[in-house]
Amino acid sequence: MKLLVRNLPRTMTEYELREMFKAHGSLGYCTLVLDETTGESKGFAFVEMPNEEEALAAIEAENGKKFGKDKIRVKAAE
């Protein structure tokens, strides 16, 4: 199941993102979207979790979780 993770702090690294979702199960891939010019985070990412039950648990646990000043949003990618 492919997940869209939005409203991430611009300072978050791909490693931190991977660790956050790895706590809920196995990962296929984890990609923090970066600005082509600056190389800085654009504040969103895609995470692939092969097990749908683990992905749904990750959505439940991480959606609305506060990071920095804002709450992140996690949902199934369309």
Terminal-residue alpha carbon distance, the chain: 10
**Distance between CA atoms of 25 and 49, rounded to whole angstroms?**
8
In a domain, 77, yes or no: no
Render pLDDT for 24-43 as a digit per residue (tens, 0 to 9).
Answer: 999 999 999 999 999 899 99
Predicted TM-score (pTM) of this structure: 0.91
Q: Taking a C-beta distance cutoff of 8 angstroms, is the pair 55, 1 a contact?
A: yes
Q: How confident is the model at residue 5 (pLDDT cuts 50, 70, 90)?
A: very high
Query: What pLDDT is recorded for position 23?
Result: 94
In a domain, 76, yes or no: no
Q: What is the CATH number of the domain that holds 41?
A: 3.30.70.330
Structure tokens given for 51: 């097990």
Q: Which domain holds residue 45?
A: 2-70
Q: Beta strand 73-76 with 70-71: parallel, antiparallel or unpaired?
A: unpaired
Q: Is the alpha carbon torsion for 71, 74, 56, 26 positive or negative?
A: negative
Does residue 70 or residue 73 have the better pLDDT?
73
